[in-house]
Amino acid sequence: MNKNQFFLIKLTSVFLLLLLLLYFYTYNVIFYQLVFWADSETFFLFNGSLVHNKYWAFLWGYLNHYNETYLNLIPVFTLIILLLYRSGCSFKVGCYRFFYYVISLQLIIYLHKHIYTFGRISPSYFYPHHYVSIVELLGNENLKWNSHHSFPSGHSLALFYFFFFIQSNKDKVMTRWSFCIAIFFSMPRLFGGAHWLSDIVYAIILAYFSYLIFYNSGLERKLNWLDRK
């Protein structure tokens, strides 16, 4: 089996996994109930912990701020720039790889928002009288606590696409840091009630599928005219 055949098998397998999970969640009652139980238990565990300590509530509450996305960009872009510097590539190629990452990520986010999402309500809507409201707890209306289209999590999709990009460069130090960042910034939505656990899990698989297309498919190398003499 050559490299191209192995890639096609891997890409097809991940795509079929995405479809099967959607199918079982939509049409299989037992699978739906199992996922719903895990989602609900996780939500109550994370969200309920906010009442135990005001500093804990402050941390996760303000990580749900609508401007928090810009906070994510600082460690994400810093790590990518450090990775490119450590890889020893030229400034020109480094700039190309950076902008290719940004453009491909924006395309993924666009597809997610306009094509690959459907009206699944977040746990804060599903349990309107049985959850801790971070807006009321912290007295700030600029905190994200709900979603009419929670599936899958766009936040986690972007963060784990970043992780898979870093991981593909086989830098163990940067990979560990990127994984920690992806996990840490995905968790606030679980505390606030804007996403279910399965929203995030499915987004991780979708991020890997997107990474396979934009990086393992050879598309990046085909477009890399900067490396050509």
Sketch the domain layout of the chain as residue ranges.
Answer: 3-227
Tell me the C-alpha distance between 220 and 229, whole Å: 17
pTM score of the predicted model? 0.89
Residue 38: both structure tokens together? 């895990």
pLDDT value of residue 160 = 95
Classify residue 184 by its DSSP letter: H
Tokens at 36, concatenated: 């719903």
The residue with tokens 């401007």 is 67
The structure tokens 């996403």 sit at 195
What per-residue string of b and e applies to 76-89 under the rule 16 or more CB within 10 Å gives b? beebbeebbeeeeb
Neighbours of 153 (CB within 10 A): 29
Q: For position 65, what pLDDT does the model report? A: 87
DSSP string, 108-177: HHHHHHHTS-B-PPPHHHHSTTSS--HHHHHT-TTB----S--BS-HHHHHHHHHHHHHHTTT-HHHHHH
Predicted local distance difference test score (pLDDT) of residue 99: 87
The whole-angstrom separation of Cα 16 and Cα 40 is 26
The rounded average pLDDT for each run of 10 residues, N- to C-terminus, in the chain (229 residues) is: 77 90 89 93 92 88 85 88 86 84 88 78 87 86 85 90 90 92 92 92 93 79 55
pLDDT value of position 202 = 93
Note the Cα 86 to chain centre separation in Å: 25
CA distance 64 to 58: 10
Q: Mutual orientation of helices 172-186 and 68-87 as an angle, nearest 10°?
A: 170
> CA angle 43-163-185, nearest 5°?
35
Cα distance between residue 115 and residue 98, in whole Å: 25
Token output for 212: 């396979």
